[in-house]
């Protein structure tokens, strides 16, 4: 029987092989590493892999071309692409149904987390749809599944990789919290529903708009959220969540508001906009 944890690494850079092998060697992965795309395709013709991490091979076969050939040989194979911090490449990768994308140098922790998430994912191919792919105006649809959150957040992180690191991470953290709220509370984690997201880049700011499929809420009445805590009772929302049997949390809106320059909800409460000005 074929192991359920088989990974194929394709990259001309020996450093990538060393990094991934070091991250995964204690997790009982069967790891095959090759340095060029043609050899990778031969391996895939011979046997399936649960995941392929693909960068540019030594023969010049880039990740996107390799992704499409992998899909032709082994449809449904999860592929994490690595490459340059290029928004057009990132969008093309997700349109071609890459599982995720990371630019080099690869961040060890996030890559490891994404690899492990990929092995647990099922029916993932259309969880993220790119509806508008101009780098200055990107529109996405994200399926209301919590496992979509980290993939969508990494996509946003890659699209805004040219920002100063601290600004990029603020945007990613705010985006993640608001998308979690949209999926959990707006979409009720119903995989039949989707959140629509637009990211607009101007010369001076990033504007993110998110619309969930829910009925909305009143910002003044979400007493289970930290943003509504009275000044003299900073933990009141935690008590309310415990009384209602909700999981610990409730800091998302408050945290997001501290990470961006403006945060606005519509009257109904099912759409939110945040603005991050460039420093």
**126-279 fold:** Heat Shock Protein 90 (3.30.565)
pLDDT reading at 221 higher than 70:
no
Task: In whole angstroms, give the CA distance from residue 139 to residue 218.
Answer: 26
Residue-level pLDDT at 151: 97
Question: Per-domain residue ranges for the chain?
Answer: 1-123, 126-279
Instruction: Put residue 110 in one of left, alpha, beta given phi > 0 → left and psi -120 to 50 → alpha.
Output: alpha
Average pLDDT for residues 222-238, to the nearest whole number? 52
Cis before 139? omega within 30: no
Residue-level pLDDT at 3: 47
Residue-level pLDDT at 216: 86
pLDDT reading at 253 higher than 90:
no
Cβ proximity of 130 and 94 under 8 Å: yes
Of 1-15, 91-105, 115-129, 153-167, the range with the lowest mean pLDDT is 1-15
For 95, half-sphere exposure in the C-beta direction (CA atoms, 13 angstrom radius) is 15
Q: What is the CATH number of domain 1-123?
A: 3.40.50.2300
Average pLDDT, the chain: 87
pLDDT reading at 81 higher than 60:
yes
Residue 143, strand partner residues = 194
Residue-level pLDDT at 237: 47
pLDDT reading at 166 higher than 90:
yes
Task: In whole angstroms, give the CA distance from residue 27 to residue 24.
Answer: 5
Shared fold status for 1-123 and 126-279 = no
pLDDT reading at 157 higher than 90:
yes
Q: How confident is the model at residue 119 (pLDDT cuts 50, 70, 90)?
A: confident
SS (H, E, C) 204-254: CEEEEEEECCCCCCCHHHCCCCHHHCCCCCCCHHHHHHHHCCCCCCCCHHH
Q: Strands 30-34 and 51-54: what pairing?
A: unpaired
């Amino acid at each position: 029987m074929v192991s359920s944890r088989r990974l194929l690494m394709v990259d001309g850079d020996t450093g990538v092989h060393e990094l991934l092998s070091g991250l995964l060697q204690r997790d009982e992965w069967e790891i095959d590493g090759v340095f060029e795309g043609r050899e990778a395709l031969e391996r895939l013709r011979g046997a399936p892999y649960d995941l392929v991490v693909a960068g540019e091979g030594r023969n010049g076969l880039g990740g996107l071309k390799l992704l499409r050939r992998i899909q032709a040989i082994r449809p449904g194979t999860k592929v994490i692409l690595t490459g340059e911090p290029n928004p057009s490449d990132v969008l093309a990768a997700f349109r071609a149904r890459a599982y995720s994308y990371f630019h080099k140098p690869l961040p060890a922790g996030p890559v490891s987390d994404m690899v492990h998430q990929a092995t647990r994912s099922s029916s993932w191919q259309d969880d993220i749809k790119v509806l508008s792919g101009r780098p200055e105006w990107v529109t996405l649809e994200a399926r209301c599944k919590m496992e979509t959150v980290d993939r969508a957040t990494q996509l946003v992180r890659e699209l805004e990789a040219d920002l100063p690191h601290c600004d990029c991470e603020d945007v990613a953290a705010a985006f993640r919290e608001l998308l979690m709220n949209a999926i959990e509370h707006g979409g009720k984690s119903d995989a039949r529903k989707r959140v629509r997201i637009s990211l607009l880049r101007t010369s001076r700011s990033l504007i993110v708009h998110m619309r969930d499929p829910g009925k909305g809420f009143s910002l003044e009445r979400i007493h289970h959220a930290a943003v509504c805590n009275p000044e003299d009772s900073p933990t009141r929302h935690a008590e309310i969540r415990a009384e209602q049997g909700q999981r610990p949390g409730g800091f998302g809106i408050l945290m997001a508001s501290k990470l961006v320059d403006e945060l606005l909800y519509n009257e109904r409460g099912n759409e939110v906009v945040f603005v991050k000005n460039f420093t």
